[in-house]
Amino acid sequence: MHDDANRIKHPLDALNFFLADVRDGLGPYLAIYLLTVQKWDEASIGIVMSVAALAGIVAQTPAGALIDKTTAKRAAVVVAAVIVTLGSIVLPLYPSFLFVATTQALTGVAAAVFAPALAAITLGIVGPKAFARRIGRNEAFNHAGNATAATLAGIFAYAFGPIVVFWLMAAMAVASILSTLAIPADAIDHQTARGLGDLDDTHDHDAADRPSGFQVLLTCKPLLIFAAATVLFHFSNAAMLPLVGQKLALVNSELGTTLMSVCIVAAQVVMVPVAMLVGRKADVWGRKPIFACALAVLALRGALYPLSDNPYWLVGVQTLDGIGAGIFGAIFPLVVADLTYGTGHFNISQGAIATAAGLGGALSTAIAGVIVVKAGYSAAFLVLAALAGIGLILFIVAMPETRPSDARHQPLVPNA
């Protein structure tokens, strides 16, 4: 398996790069398109985005279970990318509320496959010892792909209008399909990919103390605490970028999409070194202080947005997203892998937590939209910042360190 890692390194890099824009969906670009071109109000935009997100949320856990069971992981990625491509192409043709909600729901369901599939393929190729470093590399290429796509979106949108974003996503999806097919099928160890394998000196947790099977989803207290902190992270984070995009679009509707691209590029550029750093240092510093930092930066970001409506200020504050999101993307699969090693349910556990986190994210956009209509943008940002602060306190107080070198000396239960 490890000999195969070298010959698939570049295809795996390419897959993370091109799938970056696809796995995250249209997101804030859709909000800007509906606000400036279709003249929807903020509440309607929030509702349709939440409806679409809820459909994707329902698919998260089944998607994880599918990836745990199937040996056709590459095919799952290809089928999902095809669905996203079609959804992106047809959406601008029929921009009614029902059609937009339906197409986004379908693409959300398909996109649920990407995160567990990428993590499983990676774990199945490099094994647990090299997983932290490779996940950091994955996330670095993911963020580089997002930065590139956002740059192209900003340039093309300035020249041709917001609709160009839909075509760009379709092109990225096609490239991701080709990258997936370039990964040799026999390079993936499917037992290791689901979290099974011989316990080694890197993961030598006492198997007798480990929850088995699906019990890990309900009986592993650290996993539940991490899930709660993740939900609060996404509840706080999900609505921030769309709200910033709306504020920028209201200041200058012609430059709204371009300014949004500047926001995304700035954050993604920061995420690349952050993800690489997390990948290199997670086994040294531990998981807990790194994720606590992500929650603290998120709370700070929400508190800073209301201080000014100046576009330069908003874009500058948005760069902080590079720290929080860069950390989360790299640390999330590591913590789940730590807590589920030996159960064979690594991917369904990712899916279950992603389901809960997705609920937080979906409620975030809906509730933030309502708060904006009732009390303004500043109130919405401050509420989101407070939620991140609550998540930070919970995580610091209740979550143990899960790094294998720590966990081998203590049971994985919350500290008293």
- State how far the Cα of 395 lies from the Cα of 231, in Å rounded to an integer: 12
Rounded average pLDDT over 330-354: 84
The answer to whether the CB of 22 falls within 8 A of the CB of 145 is no
C-alpha separations of 52 from 210, 233, 272, 398, 415 in Å: 36, 20, 28, 33, 38
Specify the pLDDT at position 279: 86
Burial of 58 (0-12, 13-18, 19+ CB in 10 A): middle
- State how far the Cα of 182 lies from the Cα of 77, in Å rounded to an integer: 12
Q: Residue 405 — pLDDT band, cuts 50, 70, 90?
A: low
Which DSSP string do the residues of 70-86 spell out, in sequence order?
Answer: -S-HHHHHHHHHHHHHH
Owner of token pair 């745990």 = 68
- State how far the Cα of 357 lies from the Cα of 234, in Å rounded to an integer: 6
- State how far the Cα of 338 lies from the Cα of 263, in Å rounded to an integer: 33
Specify the pLDDT at position 398: 92
Please name which of 41, 158, 33, 174 lies closest in space to residue 91, comparing C-alpha atoms: 33
Two tokens, residue 361: 């994210």
Of the candidate ranges 22-26, 179-183, 264-268, the one whose mean pLDDT is the lowest: 22-26
pTM of structure: 0.74
pLDDT at 61 over 70: yes
Specify the pLDDT at position 204: 45
Amino acid (one-letter) located at 125: I
- Which residue has better confidence, 301 or 145? 301
Specify the pLDDT at position 209: 41
Q: Residue 410 — pLDDT band, cuts 50, 70, 90?
A: very low
- State how far the Cα of 188 lies from the Cα of 4, in Å rounded to an integer: 8
Cα–chain center distance at 412: 25
Specify the pLDDT at position 210: 43
Rounded average pLDDT over 65-85: 88
Please name which of 359, 358, 244, 360 lies closest in space to residue 302, comparing C-alpha atoms: 244
Average pLDDT value over all residues in the chain: 80
Share of the chain above pLDDT 70, in %: 86
Instruction: Please report, for the chain, the start and end positions of each structural domain, with discontinuous segments joined by +.
Output: 2-407
- State how far the Cα of 360 lies from the Cα of 387, in Å rounded to an integer: 11
Which one-letter DSSP state was computed for residue 400?
Answer: P
Looking at domain 2-407, what is its CATH homologous superfamily? MFS general substrate transporter like domains (1.20.1250.20)
pLDDT at 185 over 90: no
Q: Residue 252 — pLDDT band, cuts 50, 70, 90?
A: low
Amino acid (one-letter) located at 406: D
Specify the pLDDT at position 208: 38
pLDDT digits (tens, 9 = 90+) for 106-139: 888 888 899 889 989 988 888 888 888 888 898 8
DSSP three-state, residue 3: helix
Q: Residue 214 — pLDDT band, cuts 50, 70, 90?
A: low
Q: Residue 295 — pLDDT band, cuts 50, 70, 90?
A: very high
Specify the pLDDT at position 70: 85
Rounded average pLDDT over 77-101: 82
The answer to whether the CB of 405 falls within 8 A of the CB of 396 is no
pLDDT at 234 over 80: yes
Rounded average pLDDT over 202-208: 43
pLDDT at 157 over 70: yes
- Which residue has better confidence, 261 or 5? 261
Specify the pLDDT at position 233: 94
pLDDT at 198 over 90: no
- State how far the Cα of 217 lies from the Cα of 116, in Å rounded to an integer: 16
- Which residue has better confidence, 293 or 142? 293
Owner of token pair 């590079």 = 322
- Which residue has better confidence, 214 or 278? 278
Q: Residue 248 — pLDDT band, cuts 50, 70, 90?
A: confident
Please name which of 134, 175, 135 lies closest in space to residue 152, comparing C-alpha atoms: 175
Share of the chain above pLDDT 90, in %: 16
Which one-letter DSSP state was computed for residue 38?
Answer: S
Rounded average pLDDT over 186-194: 84
pLDDT at 201 over 50: no
65 Cβ partners below 8 Å, 6+ apart? 347, 348, 351
Q: Residue 298 — pLDDT band, cuts 50, 70, 90?
A: very high
